Chains A and B, each alone.
Chain A
Amino acid sequence: MAQLKVVLQFPPNLIEQPITYQLIKKHDLMVNILGARITPKEQGRLVVEISGKKKNLDAALRFLKEIGVGVEPLARDVTWHEDRCIECTACTSICPTGALSVSRPEMRVTFNHGKCIACELCVPVCPYKAMEIVSK
């Protein structure tokens, strides 16, 4: 089992193509969409976590490149300093992917690194500097 978190850049002509469908169906991969955005110039940006057999993953990356989808690794990584976090929950309503989440009614805060797309929205929101961006 291999796993990869990447940013996929779609040129305008590919936006309407069922590409994630092909990744799932043709290459037998699991695709977890962490973030999606279409810019005004019709560039599509998809942050995905792809997992499956190493062989299939490599084939899928080749396929994406061939049809013209830009594939970049997530350039930044986010660290949750648990010791600095006071579990106030301030960041949790701002986190777009649910990487930072609250268990209710206990109101305990947890960070799921796998869901984080390094959007950095939580960084200025945390008063205790518990969320840190690390450039890779």
Chain B
Amino acid sequence: MAKTIEEINEKIRRGKAVVFNAEEVIKVVKSKGLKKAATEVDVVTTGTFAPMCSSGAYFNVGHTNPRIKLGGGFVTLNGVPVYTGYAAVDILLGATAMQVEDPLNRIYPGKFLYGGAHVIEDLVSGRDVKLVARAYGTDCYPRKQLETWIRLEDMNEAVLLNLRNAYQNYNVGVNLSDHVIHTYMGVLQPRMRNATYCSAGQLSPLLNDPFYRTLGMGTRIFLGGGIGYVLGGGTQHNPSVPRTERGLPRMGAGTLSVRGELKQMNPRWLRGASMTGYGVSLAVGIGVPIPVLDEEIMHYTAVTDADIVAQVVDYSEAYPNCVPGSLGEVSYAELKSGSIKIQGKNVPTASLSSYARAREIADILKRWIVEGSFFLTQPVEPIPSVEAGLRCKALNERPVVNGPGPSR
């Protein structure tokens, strides 16, 4: 029997909604059977907490007296440059931006101690951040210099705006070379002495709704400890990759773009990450509620780590040089056992995504729904699925020669 989102919301209002996290629901479906479970269960909550580089935030810092036009000027927050190409006092901060004087990888491997993600974490923690600005000055915005402390509560608007989060599945990273390499998949030991992965597997949002049937623009979610919204598919959203019989992508596929007000978020769920030799990233906590509208959705949410597979990729040669292919396919059940077998070799595994925290997020979201403080939304626009035929393209480089300019 099919349900609607309004019906589920009505049950939430009456305190009658039946909610499980995506781990618990596996047993529920197993013991009750799909049909019965689909009528009884209303919502399955998912979660993920991992570094997500394509994150950032924009702020309106308020006007000074006399006025200053930051737009087109140069502005830093705790030494980290922000993007100023907007109106007078709107600025945009990217998670991976580094302090101007950071040695980066000049001293290899760089430590990347403090970047945009750490500024976001500091702001959400209520700490003072130093804003320094240089502007060119105009008749209506005469001021040219600004140096001040500022905190989150001082800002007019402070919005987390992430271009690509919650990757639906990801690679398993290994290193076939004979030296240590430092990647966004962490520190990879030579000759495949370790393997790293980055997904919450059976708890992960998009692996519980593999064809994006229930979410889209406007879906209300747990974001950074507060409430956020899905804007749509994220950058590099790539639904048309090979899938298993269950419809699960065998590699990175769908992504989400999300936004939410920073002022109601919590630093436990927005953490600056320093990836040695690679750069800074922001660990973002995201939880998506999946309304159990019918048996098919119930089936998808009962996904287990054994059902989900990922590709093992060499990050010393294959990844940097875009060599397609995989060293092997492993399941998340194997990855989470602590060791996988690749080409006859036992390789210890470790995760960059926190499964323990993913579960905590799913449980918080569950509590909100059970308590009646979080209601589901009907998306106003779906996220393109397989039939849209989208494919993520590589950049087609065209030689630039001196001449009359780009061809039109």
Kindly list chain B residues whose C-beta atoms are within 8 Å of the C-beta of A108: 356
Q: Mark B315-339, 1 if CB is under 8 A from A, else 0.
A: 0000000000000000000001110
Q: List 11 A-B contacts (CB under 8 A).
A: A90-B351, A90-B352, A93-B195, A93-B348, A93-B350, A94-B194, A104-B337, A107-B336, A109-B356, A125-B187, A127-B352
Complex CA–CA separation, A121 to B186 (angstroms): 13
Kindly list chain A residues whose C-beta atoms are within 8 Å of the C-beta of B276: 124-125, 127
Chain A 88-109 residues near chain B, CB threshold 8 A:
88-94, 102, 104-109
A124/B187 contact (C-beta < 8 A), A88-B50, A89-B350, A104-B337 known: yes
Using CB atoms and an 8 Å cutoff, list the residues of chain A in contact with chain B.
86-94, 102, 104-109, 124-125, 127-129
Chain B 274-305 residues near chain A, CB threshold 8 A:
274-276, 281, 283
Asked if B196 is an interface residue, CB under 8 A from chain A, the answer is yes
Complex CA–CA separation, A102 to B339 (angstroms): 12
Instruction: Decide if the interface of chain B is mainly helix, strand, loop or mixed.
Output: strand
Kindly list chain A residues whose C-beta atoms are within 8 Å of the C-beta of B187: 94, 124-125
Chain B 336-358 residues near chain A, CB threshold 8 A:
336-338, 348-357
Asked if B60 is an interface residue, CB under 8 A from chain A, the answer is no
| Known pairs A88-B351, A94-B350 / 15 extra A-B pairs, C-beta < 8 Å | A88-B350, A88-B352, A89-B351, A90-B351, A93-B195, A93-B196, A93-B350, A94-B194, A106-B356, A124-B109, A125-B186, A127-B274, A127-B352, A128-B272, A128-B283
The 7 lowest CB-CB distance pairs between A and B, nearest first, are: A127-B273, A93-B350, A107-B355, A93-B348, A124-B276, A87-B356, A88-B354
Chain B 100-146 residues near chain A, CB threshold 8 A:
109, 111, 113
Complex CA–CA separation, A127 to B118 (angstroms): 12
Size class of the B contact interface (CB-based, 8 Å): 20 to 34
Complex CA–CA separation, A127 to B338 (angstroms): 20
Does B336 contact A105, Cβ atoms closer than 8 Å? yes
Q: Mark B15-47, 1 if CB is under 8 A from A, else 0.
A: 000000000000000000000000000000000
Asked if B212 is an interface residue, CB under 8 A from chain A, the answer is no
Min C-beta distance of B318 to chain A, whole Å: 21
Asked if B271 is an interface residue, CB under 8 A from chain A, the answer is yes
Asked if B54 is an interface residue, CB under 8 A from chain A, the answer is no
Asked if B49 is an interface residue, CB under 8 A from chain A, the answer is yes
Does B350 contact A92, Cβ atoms closer than 8 Å? yes
Kindly list chain A residues whose C-beta atoms are within 8 Å of the C-beta of B355: 87, 89, 107
Complex CA–CA separation, A97 to B187 (angstroms): 18
Does A87 contact B281, Cβ atoms closer than 8 Å? no
Complex CA–CA separation, A94 to B186 (angstroms): 11
Residue of B nearest to A107 (CB): B355
Residue of A nearest to B194 (CB): A93
Min C-beta distance of A51 to chain B, whole Å: 29
Chain B 143-192 residues near chain A, CB threshold 8 A:
186-187, 189
Does B353 contact A94, Cβ atoms closer than 8 Å? no
Kindly list chain B residues whose C-beta atoms are within 8 Å of the C-beta of A92: 350
Min C-beta distance of B175 to chain A, whole Å: 13
